[in-house]
Amino acid sequence: MTIDDILASLRQAKGDPQLLALATVDSVLATHRPELRAALEAAAIPHWFNHQILGSLLRLGDSEVAASFETLTSLPFVEQYGDGVNFNVHEATRLAIGRRLESQEPERLVKIVSPDRRKPEGRIP
Amino acid sequence: MGVPGLRTPWASIAKIAVGGEHKGTGFLIAPKLLVTAFHVVEGADGQAVQVIGLNFNPNAEHEDGRPAIETEATLLPAQWSREHDFAIFECAKSPNAKPLVLTERCRRMRDFLSPGFGGQDPGGFSVTGSIASLNEPEETGGPVFGLQLDSGSGVLVEGHSGAPVIVDGRVVALLRTAYLDEYGGTKGGLIRATPIRHVVESCNNQNPGILRYNANIVWPQPNLAIAPIVADRKNEFHEFERMITGQSQKRVLLVEGGSGHGKSVLVEEFKKYAQRLGVTIAIANLKSERSIDTVFRSFQFSAGEDAIPQPEDGEKDSYYTRVIDHLSSFRSPFLLIIDTWEAAPDDLAKWVEYQLFPQLDRMPHLTVMIAGQKVPAPDHLDAETVVEHSRLGLIPVVDDWLDFCARRWPSVPIVRQHVEGILFASNLQLTPSQMYSNLDTVQRILTGNAASGAAR
């Protein structure tokens, strides 16, 4: 990822608000490890998330999700929700990611929101 | 009327002589600063005289035999206004008296007391009456307050000009003009007074911080060294800082803007600034606090029980009224913040609009900041003078972002070319939040903190 890549990505959006939001997300993600994309897309589904919710959405155990959770919550478009344990993806970013999943990868969206059968009932908030 | 039990503050009120002749009244607004009406000190050439004589009589207040204090006072450069009819002088010798407390808040029909040295009793006497109008037209420097004297006609008030108009122990205005009959007595008891806010605002424009409202509150000093790190938003910060340091009559900052326009960042940064200045803060974000009970718990958690009391067992609606009573007795600068107002439950919205806003003048130490995609309608406030309504837009100015980058990442060489590139590649359409995200990516690349091979 170079600064020229960022500019090219923004230019392609041609001023469209949703495409600008996605171009920004892609540039940010491009400077992180690839696994973070799945974590962000999962976190963008609910209105807010915490360590446990993210683990459930990604079907990962507590220790496996820890690194992604820490990086995710340091992203510029992820903010604290309430008391410091919970977080949310900023509204405009969350909606743009949701719309892209819905239109381009609906099957992945379904997979993310489907209950995790490995977990006991009621575990997913 | 004065506050019951309080003496008339004669020690802080001076009889003014110009060229040895009694001309009017003045009062202390800072330890060595005295204000009077401009026309009291206007010389034959139409300019304010440079030096006046003052006579303070502390014994009239303390009744302990203290001697009178006489001193000269010199006109402060640029601290006078013919338009608003006031002039400020610096005493050569300190009168050792407390400055009177100034307030910008005043309602119609409130009783007032005005001690001065009018011809009725040049040794000093007080006129009393009520505030008849807050919005009286005046040829210059209007609007002014219209006062109605209890004593009606015939009071000799010449020499009373410049006297303080005191409501509940605080100065709201200074006497300006009276309708007089052919004997020099009041006609119908009608008097006009210059709102003290004209004096405070005018002086602070020349010399920020020289005068404060409600000086009995210990206001913090502004400290630009710890100013918030936000892009642009200079007007919002300027007004906010004036509010929490007691320099503005404005009490409510409404910050309205769409998603991604930086409202919550502004709230967070302003909160941090106020916290560093020592202001007590109660804050709730309605994004996560959805009922009035949880909002008040959040206020209490952030500000502490000294500021926001706990509800008593079984106490319901009366609790929210009691919070206002409690806040009214709090005497330190206090900041109440509500973020994400568009999610406000009805009962909270009613509390803010129908209870908190109309009673702001009971809480001179309180500043309210409300942010959201919507903000409350300030119908129950004197919106023009009390409310600062800011509508956040995009930030398309390169220098604003360059300044931000230099402060946010001082050791990272983000240059004009980077900022211009991002702004123009997006057709200037990035929200501030997106702009920040892209600049954060640039700084990660420039500092070598970007992971490689992650492109989609």
Q: Do A30 and B454 touch (CB under 8 A)?
A: yes
A51 at the B interface (CB within 8 A)? no
Regarding whether B324 and B175 lie in a shared domain, the answer is no
Regarding whether B412 and B382 lie in a shared domain, the answer is no
Residue B13 to residue B28: CA distance in whole angstroms = 7
Residue B371 to residue B342: CA distance in whole angstroms = 9
pLDDT band at B455 (very low <50, low <70, confident <90, very high): very low
A103 at the B interface (CB within 8 A)? no
Among residues B198, B232, B263, the one where a domain terminates is: B198
Kindly identify which residue of chain A lies nearest to residue B421, measuring between CA atoms: A7
Regarding whether B364 and B280 lie in a shared domain, the answer is yes
Regarding whether B126 and B193 lie in a shared domain, the answer is yes
pLDDT at B129 over 80: yes
Q: Do strands B69-81 and B164-167 pair parallel, antiparallel, or not at all (unpaired)? A: unpaired
Q: Do B454 and A36 touch (CB under 8 A)?
A: yes
For residue B33, the model assigns a pLDDT of 93
H, E, C per residue of chain B: CCCCCCCCCHHHEEEEEECCEEEEEEEEEECCEEEECHHHCECCCCCECCEEEEEECCHHHHCCCCCCEEEEEEEEEEEEECCCCEEEEEECCCCCCCCCCECCCCCCCCEEEEEECCCCCCCCEEEEEEEEEEEECCCCCCCEEEEEECCCCCCECCCCCCCEEEECCEEEEEEEEEEECCCCEEEEEEEEEEEHHHHHHHHHHHCCCCCCCCCCCCCCCCCHHHCCCCCCCHHHHHHHHHHHCCCCCCCEEEEECCCCCCHHHHHHHHHHHHHHCCCEEEEEECCCCCCHHHHHHHHHHHHCCCCCCCCCCCCCHHHHHHHHHHHHHCCCCEEEEEECHHHCCHHHHHHHHHHHHHHHHHCCCEEEEEEECCCCCCCCCCHHHHEEEEECCCCCCHHHHHHHHHHHCCCCCCCHHHHHHHHHHCCCCCCHHHHHHHHHHHHHHHCCCCCCCCCC
B301 CA: distance to closest CA in chain A (Å): 11
Q: Do A81 and B427 touch (CB under 8 A)?
A: no
pLDDT at B448 over 60: yes
pLDDT at B55 over 90: yes
Enclosing domain of residue B181 = 111-198
Whether residue B455 is contained in a domain is answered as: no
Span of A90-99, A112-121, B106-115, B136-145 with lowest mean pLDDT: A112-121
Regarding whether B117 and B258 lie in a shared domain, the answer is no
Whether residue B261 is contained in a domain is answered as: yes
CATH of the domain at A67: 1.10.10
Give the closest of A3, A20, A82 to B445, CB-based: A3
Kindly identify which residue of chain B lies nearest to residue A5, measuring between CA atoms: B455
A88 at the B interface (CB within 8 A)? yes
- Per-residue pLDDT averaged across B12-16, rounded? 97
Regarding whether B255 and B194 lie in a shared domain, the answer is no
Taking CB atoms and an 8 Å cutoff, what residues of chain B touch A92? 259-260, 431, 433-434
Q: Do B425 and A86 touch (CB under 8 A)?
A: no
- Give residue-wise pLDDT tens across range B244-300: 998 888 899 999 999 889 998 999 999 999 999 999 999 999 998 889 999 999 999
Enclosing domain of residue A84 = 35-113
CATH of the domain at B139: 2.40.10.10
Tell me how many domains chain B contains. Answer: 4
- Give residue-wise pLDDT tens across range B391-439: 999 999 999 999 999 999 999 999 999 999 999 999 999 999 999 999 9
Whether residue A93 is contained in a domain is answered as: yes
Regarding whether B367 and B224 lie in a shared domain, the answer is yes
Whether residue B208 is contained in a domain is answered as: no
Regarding whether B234 and B339 lie in a shared domain, the answer is yes
Q: Do A27 and B438 touch (CB under 8 A)?
A: yes
Q: pLDDT averaged over chain B?
A: 89
Regarding whether B172 and B36 lie in a shared domain, the answer is no
For residue B254, the model assigns a pLDDT of 95
For residue A117, the model assigns a pLDDT of 53
pLDDT at B5 over 60: no
Whether residue B453 is contained in a domain is answered as: no
Tell me how many domains chain A contains. Answer: 1
pLDDT band at B453 (very low <50, low <70, confident <90, very high): very low
Give the closest of B422, B436, B455 to A30, CB-based: B455
pLDDT at B369 over 60: yes
- Give residue-wise pLDDT tens across range B295-352: 999 999 999 988 999 998 888 889 999 999 888 888 799 999 999 999 999 999 999 9
Give the closest of B422, B450, B451 to A7, CB-based: B422
B441 at the A interface (CB within 8 A)? yes
Encode chain A (125 residues) as per-residue pLDDT tens digits.
899 999 999 999 999 999 999 999 999 999 999 989 999 999 999 999 999 999 988 888 888 889 999 999 999 999 989 877 899 999 889 999 999 999 998 888 888 777 655 554 444 44
B455 at the A interface (CB within 8 A)? yes
Regarding whether B86 and B28 lie in a shared domain, the answer is yes
Regarding whether B178 and B221 lie in a shared domain, the answer is no
ipTM of the complex, rounded to two decimals: 0.88
Whether residue A122 is contained in a domain is answered as: no
pLDDT at B452 over 60: no
